Structure 1
Amino acid sequence: MKEDTDPINLYEPRVFTSKFMPSPELVARLKGDVNKFLIVRVEDMYKHVTRPVPATRATIHSMLFLTSGAATMKIGSDTYTIQPGQVLIVPAGQVFSFCEKDVNRGYLCSFHDDFLIGKFSSERLKDFEFLRVWGNPRISLDAQTGQFVEHLFSRILLDYAEYGLNNLDIIQPYLITLLCEINRAYTPMSGSTQTSAVSLTNRFKELLFTHVRTHHRVTDYATLLHITPNHLNKTVKAITGKSPTKWIDEAIVLEAKVLLSQRTTSISLVAADVGFTDQAYFTRLFKKQEGITPSTFQKMIDLS
């Protein structure tokens, strides 16, 4: 079994925007160290997206809140659409992609865990399940909470646009309050965070996110979790509706799509990077999940 490596690019915000949204106007709206924090109006950012953003990872958490229109994004293996009054979260390191045709208004706020050090501990941030890769990324707000959240986004943007990151004593507390308001409205995917089955399933997802390129069997994760493969199969299927094998296959293909989207990597190297010595087997798995071969997928990215 090969060692874990990390050949996948994690985009820092300024690199990401220059690659997918090249615009002096947008650059001018980004203040201070955008690898730590940024906030913009969605409409001021989205008009500069000229092509689909392929499977990608970022180094910071992102929160999208809409006041009008709709937004669709693929996060992990699932596609989500949000409407006004909803929030969509992309945790740092999670794979995401989106197209360029949505019409909407609202706010996009991104931040690194380090941005809140001194005000909020990294352990405390883990209490926000929506910032974990296994959390529910789509959060619906009631009317009153939606008003509070919109006000908080607006207040943070007002200070950021005028002063950048010079007034952290204002921006950080507002951001913490914003996270707390969203957390109050948050509903776990399973509907409950209290059962041992949910806890086990979330631990499986966390391990899968970390070891997907080197651990491809249900028995690998059962060993890490100190349970039997049968117990893991029954638990994950009961909570998510999908078997651990399905989760593993989807995660492998998702990882491969990120690598293929980088365009400079050959199919054989992508197969090796996600843990396959047999390129033909990798191609069959990819086609089973996506309906097309890795080479066809890469050509589609080249044409976008």
Structure 2
Amino acid sequence: MKSKIPTYPLNKSFSKFEEHSRNIIIADFDDRFRIFDRQFPHRHTYYEIFLLQDSSGVHHIDFEAYPFSGPVIFLTAPEQVHQLIRKKGGHGFAIQFEDDFFNNDNGTDSRLYSYFLFDHFQTHPVIPVNEAEWDKLKTLVDLALQEYKNNLSGTSSLISAYVKIILMEILRIRKQHFQEQEIQTGTQHQHLLHFKRLLNEQYTTHHEVQDYAEQLRITPRQLNSLVKQFLNKSASQVIKERLLLEAKRLLAVNSLSIKEAGYELGFEDPAYFSRFFKQGTGMTAAEFKKSVQNTG
């Protein structure tokens, strides 16, 4: 399978590692007099927080268009297909890190950031910020960047702490802007976090709400109620959307036939997969594949 959309590892980012932090990059940039050079569909193997102060355009993330006018925050997770189209350059910051950043800390907070700020369920990967919010974020990122450029005792721990504070601040800003419920570490959120993790691991083999409810040791009705409370969707809708997202990625990124894409996702009947895709997207898989090729 030959990839049609390039995938960039962290060591091929637009900046370089500091010697003491090989799994994270913090950089500032100013390209107000030129256009940023990745204005085509691509993917990363890493997480990215991209803070842009004074530009405008549209950010296509997993085939959804998000118009923006800075200042703005972009949050992208590994494997997401995205294309940032700007009308002009700008200036700001990028924080890029691999999954190790979350895994190195066994605390619940780290996994909450991973699954609630960067996940395949997120509906707000583009977050507008006002001037006061930008100033506060800039102060925090400046401190992280200053530490990143050092090589002193405790530098790695301080960088990790600064980035977690920045994530916490972004979560707070997103909650305020989009009227989201408070993210806490109680039983309900743990069930939701566990459901998200299971779905990301098992969407090719488990397509029914019952499959996940059994593993969570709750009833399908309880799982539906939980998902509806926090995501405003039914559990079956979330499962369907996860499958459709991956179907789009497979059809766009790899030279798979429609039949092969269906098999990859656990659909043994190609006709059923075609109906599933058409019902979920409003177009046939062939039409979607053609539309991506025309815009890629």
Q: Normalising by structure 2, what TM-score? A: 0.74
Q: CA deviation at 1:219?
A: 0.8
What is the CA-CA distance between 1:281 and the residue it aligns to?
Answer: 1.3
**In the alignment, structure 1 residue 215 sits paired with structure 2 residue 206:** yes
Query: Do the aligned residues in 2 keep the contact of 1:67 with 1:85 (CA within 8 Å)?
Result: yes
**1:265 is the counterpart of 2:256:** yes
Q: Which residue of 1 aligns with 2:165?
A: 180
Name the SS of the counterpart of 2:168 in structure 1: helix
Q: 1:123 — aligned with what?
A: 106
Match of 1:39 in 2: 26
Residue type of the alignment partner of 2:135: Q
CA contact (8 A) 2:61 2:80 kept: yes
1:217 CA displacement: 0.5
Match of 1:147 among 123, 131, 135: 135
Change (3 A) 1:14 1:248: same
Deviates more, 1:248-257 or 1:173-182: 173-182
The alpha-carbon deviation at position 272 of structure 1 amounts to 0.8
Contact 2:26 2:94 in 1 (8 A): yes
Q: Secondary structure at the match of 1:68?
A: coil
What SS does structure 1 have at the residue aligned with 2:37? Answer: coil
Matches within 5 A, 1:63-142: 63-70=49-56, 72-73=58-59, 84=70, 86-91=72-77, 93=78, 95-101=80-86, 103=88, 104-114=90-100, 121-124=104-107, 126-127=109-110, 129-132=112-115, 133=119, 137=125
- The aligned residue for residue 193 of structure 1 is 183
Deviations along 1:210-263, whole A, 9 cap, x unmatched? 211111001111111111112222332233221111111110011122222223
Alignment CA distance shift 1:125-1:232 (3 Å): closer
**Aligned residue number for residue 5 of structure 1:** none
In structure 1, the partner of 2:38 is 49
Maintained 8 Å contact 2:277/2:285: yes
Q: Which amino acid aligns with 1:12?
A: P
Closer/same/farther in 2, CA of residues 60 and 172 from structure 1, 3 Å limit? farther
Identical columns (%)? 23
Contact 1:260 1:267 in 2 (8 A): yes
Distance 1:116 1:223 in 2: 27
SS in 1 for 2:205: coil
Note the aligned Cα RMSD (angstroms): 3.7
- Assess if the C-alpha contact under 8 Å between 1:259 and 1:270 holds in 2: yes
Contact (CA 8 Å) 1:35, 1:112: kept in 2 or not?
no
Question: Residue type matched to 1:183 in 2?
Answer: M
Which amino acid in structure 1 is aligned with residue 194 of structure 2? Answer: R
Match of 1:241 in 2: 232
Aligned to 1:20: none
SS in 2 for 1:186: helix
Taking the aligned partners of 2:130 and 2:53, their CA distance within structure 1 comes to 13
SS at match of 1:296: helix
1:82-107 C-alpha deviation (Å, 9 max, x unpaired): 6545433334x463423423544321
Shift of residue 131 of structure 1? 2.5
1:71 Cα deviation from its structure 2 partner: 6.1
- From the superposition, tell whether residues 99 and 69 of structure 1 become closer, same or farther in structure 2 (CA, over 3 Å): closer
1:130 maps to amino acid: Y
Q: 1:31–1:38: 8 Å Cα contact kept in structure 2?
A: yes
**CA–CA separation in structure 1 for the residues paired with 2:132 and 2:279:** 45
Give the whole-Å Cα distance in 1 for the aligned partners of 2:203 and 2:167. 30
Q: Tell me if 1:13 matches 2:3.
A: no
- In the alignment, structure 1 segments of 5+ residues that lack a partner are 1-7, 18-25
Q: Give the CA deviation at 1:169.
A: 4.8
